[in-house]
Amino acid sequence: MKIGIYGQFYHENSETYIQLILDALQHRDVEIVIEENFLDIINLHQDITKNFSGVKTFSELDDSYNLFFSIGGDGTILKSVTFVRDLGIPIVGINTGRLGFLATIQKEEITKSLTQILNGEYILSERSVLTIETQPHNSGIEPLNFALNEVAVNRKNTTSMIKVETFVNDKYLTSYWSDGLIVATPTGSTGYSLSCGGPVIDPNTNSIVITPIAPHNLNARPLIVPDSSTISLKVSGREKSYLVSLDSRIATLENETVIIIKKAPFTINLVQLNDDSFIKTLRKKLLWGEDKRN
């Protein structure tokens, strides 16, 4: 078995959990390959006892990997997607941060959960991905022109609203006067879109949600469309440019640039333990049912 490991090491006491992970893998017939920058960070921490002089590193992945371990929070998982891309390698999110909504393993249960995964006691949760292209095509977004959570347009260098002309399957929907607009997958429905009033969508649902950010017209509500739809956005405003973000990656586009958003031809596989589910995660992470009256 070959396992890639990636992390950003932003969280307090992360070295404790990394040590637990490495100890668990050392007792199995596992080839460990660590992302090169992450290994440099690990080597700076003397609290981690393993000697990494013989450990391989990667800067890019290929299809020889059986699993990909993402150590950190949801942001680290989103960054991991840029390594995995369309290779289909299952991602194991190991939460060493706070919420960790997308994570497979919580830091309090690392050893037990890793044993289950290495024994093959898990299922794969297929997650849809959005891809974008721009007209004209010299936007600089490629080749990482995809997002697991959402594509969002936001105002830049101004407090003034922007106008987002929105089309669905080449049919005019509306022009949102707002701080921006989010186009999210079901996976992303519990992220930025949710904080802007969007609905929670089960990851197995074949849909996309369009959520305005602080719209001027209070009648502008989130809209769910089939994920077979093509969504086109044309942004204008007082400034000459605006921001487009794909998960955590941001680029600047000139006004009148058209963004075309579609479902990508590939999916991302997130590892899910057999006794976990999206419904269970909602209760645990979003504290559904925590009202003392229930």
Spatial contact of 31 and 2, defined as CB atoms under 8 Å apart: yes
pLDDT at residue 53, rounded to an integer:
66
pLDDT at residue 98, rounded to an integer:
74
DSSP for 211-235, please give it: EEES-SSTT---EEEETT--EEEEE
The closest alpha carbon to 266, from 169, 97, 116, 145, belongs to 145
Diameter of the chain measured on Cα atoms: 60
Instruction: Give the pTM.
Output: 0.92
Instruction: Name the domain count of the chain.
Output: 2
Domain ranges, residue 9 = 2-120
Strand pairing category for 171-178 and 162-168: antiparallel
Residue 285 lies in a domain: no
pLDDT at residue 71, rounded to an integer:
93
Domain edge (last residue) among 75, 94, 120: 120
Which CATH number belongs to the domain containing residue 77 in this structure? 3.40.50.10330
Query: 16 and 134: one domain?
Result: no
The yes-or-no answer on residue 74 being catalytic is yes
Residues 6 or more apart in contact with residue 243 via CB below 8 angstroms? 153, 154, 155, 156, 180, 250, 251, 252, 253
Distance CA 124, CA 147 (A): 19
Write out the chain's pLDDT in tens, 294 residues. Answer: 999 999 988 777 788 888 888 888 888 888 999 999 999 888 887 777 777 767 889 999 999 999 999 999 899 999 999 999 999 999 999 998 777 889 999 888 888 999 999 999 999 999 999 999 998 876 667 778 999 999 999 999 888 999 999 999 999 999 999 999 999 999 999 999 999 999 999 999 999 999 999 999 888 999 999 999 999 999 998 899 999 999 989 999 999 899 999 999 999 999 999 999 999 888 888 888 776 665
Spatial contact of 81 and 247, defined as CB atoms under 8 Å apart: yes
Residue 292 lies in a domain: no
The single residue of 23, 40, 74, 276 carrying the catalytic annotation is 74
Residue 283 lies in a domain: no
Query: 66 and 186: one domain?
Result: no
